[in-house]
Structure 1
């Protein structure tokens, strides 16, 4: 029975998430909380692990969650569940592409989906910030009152450096991920 629950949870996530893996993260976290599989800190580590392993972040996260919950078959059920909607939607899209290529209705739907996708990605950024840069919920009175005790300085510096190196110097994400991992490994020991 847990395999069916995992499959259905990730199928739902796969079919209702637009915008890729980062847009799926809040939904995956919500599902993980429903199952009671892992804490916020563990989920934050899962996201980091999903980033450094090859493949789409949503598939990596689903595989990890499924494996944590029920082992190999849970990993298979979760991965199949999150990937199947994309396969179905691509097949259907290709079938109807020519018919609806210049449809005003389709343009209107996509116009509405785009800002929601940005919102979901922003939600993932806030979630990851809470668990990576700060030691508790973002936007709380505690943050303002106890800023020195609340902010993790090293992750904030890494965050700012990553933005500068990626934006200004166009250093690729793989190099930045490896560099950040090395900095963390040497400075946090």
Structure 2
């Protein structure tokens, strides 16, 4: 059975599948109706860089990270080793509310898009997303810490091995009422597809 997948965003189209012949037929059909550039291996699509070798596919957002650091004047920031400090825990009652939360919301939104390939920041970004309605200066500092972490790890991303097995492994944990404000549990999970 042949599968061909098309990912379309405005005028950018990514075509892939399990059959080179099926992909080529699809590209020919598109070229009959639309102006299509010559097919080439994907290198960059919607801010995601794809680097393929015979042993792997590595997806990253290095250029997106560097642009983000530049936009928030953090290009020369001193890197940190983790995206979020383990203590003190931030909450809605810490520190002074930001007078204009727009900059915070834009940054956290950008970090949410970045989490597609940077799973290592997902927990920190999710935590900061919970304060979009009323961020404080402590939340802003926590968001800037993520930028400092990214300054030291711009090339990190997702690695797919070419010899990967499709076995699925999942792990889950919870801290059982770990939030000291409303005693909500924090759940975390990690899923491995092969390696």
Q: Shared fold (TM-score greater than 0.5)?
A: no
Identify the structure with the greater strand proportion: 2
Identify the structure with the greater helix proportion: 1
Higher gyration radius (CA): 2
TM-score bin, normalised by smaller chain: under 0.3
TM-score under structure 1 length normalisation: 0.24
TM-score under structure 2 length normalisation: 0.24
Bigger RCO (CA 8 Å, 6+ sep): 1
